[in-house]
Amino acid sequence: MPGAIVVDPLSQQIALTKRELENLRVRYTETHPEVRAKRQQLTDLLDQARRRAESGENGEAMPEPTNPIIAAIQDRINTIEGQLIKLDADEKSMLREIAEYERRIQVEPEVQRQLTVLEEQHAVAQEKWRRLEREAEGAEGSIDLEDSKMAQQMEVLTEASVPERPVEPDALQIYMTLLIAGTA
């Protein structure tokens, strides 16, 4: 058909593989086996297109589109396909972000509940600490009081001293007192 646009199946497959690779990259990391396999498939297709462009299917050089309108349309299609791939990747990224926000919103009440439980446990532990601290202070006061009572009970007023003279009755003094009393 004259004027019909003929799209190369290899170009279509390359564009499709690029879109699939971008979609896989959105879901997986670069080291994921599916991403690596798709990247290898794209590399193989690009190599095949390069070899084909260099030598053509039958060993002849591939003719460039002679109609500038067709070439412009093909360029525009390639540009739009690239934009679609980027927009698909952006959409996937935004959907991941939305899913993460939704997950965080759903998890937040549980985290709030856990925080409340921890705050209550902390308050109970703090009160127990204060009570034990008061009991320890009271016990120290009781020990001090008990020590002072024992010290009061066992207080030594003065130490005993050895008398210089014997305490026994002094016979000489008794005789003298009697003698004086008898003469009087």
Could you tell me the residue ranges of all domains in the chain?
A: 9-107
Nearest-CA neighbor of 49 among 62, 65, 40, 39?
62
Mean pLDDT over all residues of the chain? 81
- Model confidence at 62: pLDDT above 50: no
The percentage of the chain sitting over the pLDDT mark of 70, rounded to a whole number, equals: 83
pTM over 0.85? The answer is no
Nearest-CA neighbor of 38 among 79, 100, 99, 85?
85
Q: How confident is the model at residue 13 (pLDDT cuts 50, 70, 90)?
A: confident
Q: How confident is the model at residue 58 (pLDDT cuts 50, 70, 90)?
A: very low
Calculate mean pLDDT across residues 77-92. Answer: 85
Q: How many Cβ atoms are within 10 Å of 14's Cβ, its own excluded? A: 19
Q: What are the strands, taking DSSP E only, across 49-181?
A: none
Give the pLDDT score at 56. 55
Give the pLDDT score at 152. 64
From residue 16, give the alpha-carbon distance in Å to each of 4, 78, 81, 82.
Answer: 22, 11, 9, 11
Calculate mean pLDDT across residues 116-134. Answer: 94
Give the pLDDT score at 7. 63
Tokens of 91: 């959409």
